[in-house]
Amino acid sequence: MKTFIALAAALVLAVPGPVLAQAKKKPSRGPDVIFVPTPQEVVEDMLRLANVRKGDVLYDLGSGDGRIAITAAKKYGIKATGIDIDPERIREATANAKKAGVDDRVQFKQEDLFQADFRDATVITLYLLPDLNVKLRPKLWNELKPGTRIVSHQFDMGKWKPEKTLESEGRTIYFWTIPEKGKRPKL
């Protein structure tokens, strides 16, 4: 038994600190939605509607295979982060970023969207279900800077009316800007 304990302790000590920290942060629940890829033309239209430009910091919430973050980094030269709760999607997205040659500007994190820190975003993209968008809305309002742009593929934010909508490939894209604290609509 002592040998087993010593071996287990040696294994724990051999694992680098950042790896242990990441392992401890892993979400304790599964995905809220199934992965459905956003068509590339819709990705392009989402980024155009968000007016992505040099210097932006994009976070894709529920990033799936990483195509939105990867396209933003490739086309606009910006830094992008994808957040997804599914470790399989994180592995796939990371491999896709490497293959696209943007792994120096794009990272993917396995995290729960409701606990993740994306306060430095200037652009948020998402393709979640309507109830998740509404549930996420207070976090967006409370943590993002006024002027941060949000673009959602296919689903709105309930009573928070979009500033713009765009039809793309038979799908709707919604656009909002985080308002100043005193100018937020009553919902």
Residue 107: which CATH number? Answer: 3.40.50.150
The answer as to whether 3 is a domain residue is no
DSSP helix/strand/coil, 75:
helix
pLDDT at 1 over 90: no
Cβ-based burial of 46 (10 A; exposed 0-12, middle 13-18, buried ≥19)? buried
The answer as to whether 179 is a domain residue is yes
Mean pLDDT of all residues in 71-88:
97
| Overall number of domains in the chain | 1
pLDDT at 44 over 90: yes
pLDDT of amino acid 169: 92
The answer as to whether 8 is a domain residue is no
pLDDT tens, position by position, 4-40: 334 334 333 443 443 333 434 555 566 666 778 899 9
Please state the pTM of the whole predicted model: 0.82
DSSP helix/strand/coil, 132:
helix
pLDDT at 72 over 70: yes
pLDDT at 50 over 90: yes
The answer as to whether 16 is a domain residue is no
Kindly list the distances between the CA atom of residue 48 and the CA atoms of 42, 121, 172, 176, in Å, as whole numbers in the listed order. Answer: 10, 17, 14, 13
Residue bearing the bigger pLDDT, 10 or 144: 144
Least confident of 22-31, 49-58, 145-154: 22-31
The answer as to whether 11 is a domain residue is no
pLDDT of amino acid 184: 77
Identify the domain containing residue 55 by its residue range. 31-183
The answer as to whether 141 is a domain residue is yes
Closest CA to 62 of 95, 27, 17: 27
pLDDT of amino acid 26: 57
pLDDT of amino acid 78: 98
The answer as to whether 35 is a domain residue is yes
Helices and strands, counts by H and E, the chain = 6, 7
The answer as to whether 21 is a domain residue is no
| Residue % of the chain over a pLDDT of 90 | 76
Residue bearing the bigger pLDDT, 130 or 184: 130
pLDDT tens, position by position, 158-177: 999 999 999 999 999 999 99
